A and B are shown apart, each in its own frame.
Chain A
Amino acid sequence: GENVEQHPSTLSVQEGDSAVIKCTYSDSASNYFPWYKQELGKRPQLIIDIRSNVGEKKDQRIAVTLNKTAKHFSLHITETQPEDSAVYFCAASNTGTASKLTFGTGTRLQVTL
């Protein structure tokens, strides 16, 4: 089955700096890659997603890149703010045969003043 690895496990940046979180996946059939933000005690919230026919997607300060050949994808957050502090999870799925999401282990992002 699919296996998703996520790095780093913790990331501390100063406000205004950029943050990058990287994930690799094992199943070449995976074609959908969402990123979720989870604040303490809250539900995972979808912040951005990308499909395998696209190499990059941006939404304001957030961007995701996908390299299908290398089977890795990354989340980029620019101009970080304290409210960006949370745990971020990447995930992968193959929507052709199943919609189950396989999640990475999470990255705890701390944005310091």
Chain B
Amino acid sequence: DAGVTQSPTHLIKTRGQQVTLRCSPISGHKSVSWYQQVLGQGPQFIFQYYEKEERGRGNFPDRFSARQFPNYSSELNVNALLLGDSALYLCASSAEWGTDTQYFGPGTRLTVL
């Protein structure tokens, strides 16, 4: 789990702006999932990617999008930021799609003012 990296660690944006968050999975892992964790709550599933294809999408608006690159790293994009988008965004990697064990990165703390 120590191998999942995310950048940046912290980010401050204003309403209406756009943000891109980045994730590098554990070496050899092919699947990346994104979660949103609002303060005081459990992580909520946003997207899962495997082999550059979207394999799952949570109940989030179309302002949220993501992609996975040939090296299995991933980006999460959020457009037209709202105050309610302020949260810790976590990336998790797993070896294969349908493989259970997911290891989380340190997260990106997004604050929307």
Contacts and interface: CB of A to CB of B under 8 A. Distances in A.
A52 to B, nearest CB: 11
Contact of B48 (A45, A89, A99, A102): A99
Contacts of B106: 42-43
Main secondary structure of the interface of B (DSSP, over half): loop
Interface of B: 1, 4, 31, 33, 35, 40-45, 48, 55-56, 58, 90, 92, 94, 97-107
A46 B1 contact: yes
B97 A44 contact: no
Given A103-B42, A103-B43, 20 more contacts: A36-B104, A43-B1, A43-B4, A43-B107, A44-B90, A46-B1, A46-B101, A49-B100, A91-B42, A96-B98, A98-B48, A98-B98, A99-B31, A99-B98, A99-B99, A101-B35, A101-B45, A101-B102, A103-B44, A104-B42
Nearest to B57: A100
B41 A105 contact: yes
Nearest to B98: A95
A24 interface: no
A36 B56 CA distance: 21
Nearest to B50: A99
Contact of A98 (B35, B42, B56, B101): B56
For the complex of A and B, the 4 pairs showing the least CB-CB separation, nearest first, are: A103-B42, A32-B100, A100-B45, A43-B104
A99 B43 contact: no
Contacts of A101: 33, 35, 43, 45, 92, 102
Interface of A: 6, 32, 34, 36, 42-46, 49, 51, 89, 91, 93, 95-96, 98-106
25 contacts: A34-B102, A43-B90, A43-B105, A45-B1, A46-B1, A46-B102, A46-B103, A49-B100, A89-B42, A89-B43, A91-B42, A93-B100, A95-B99, A95-B100, A98-B55, A99-B56, A99-B98, A99-B100, A100-B45, A101-B43, A101-B102, A102-B45, A104-B42, A105-B42, A106-B40
Given A100-B33, A100-B56, A34 B42 contact: no
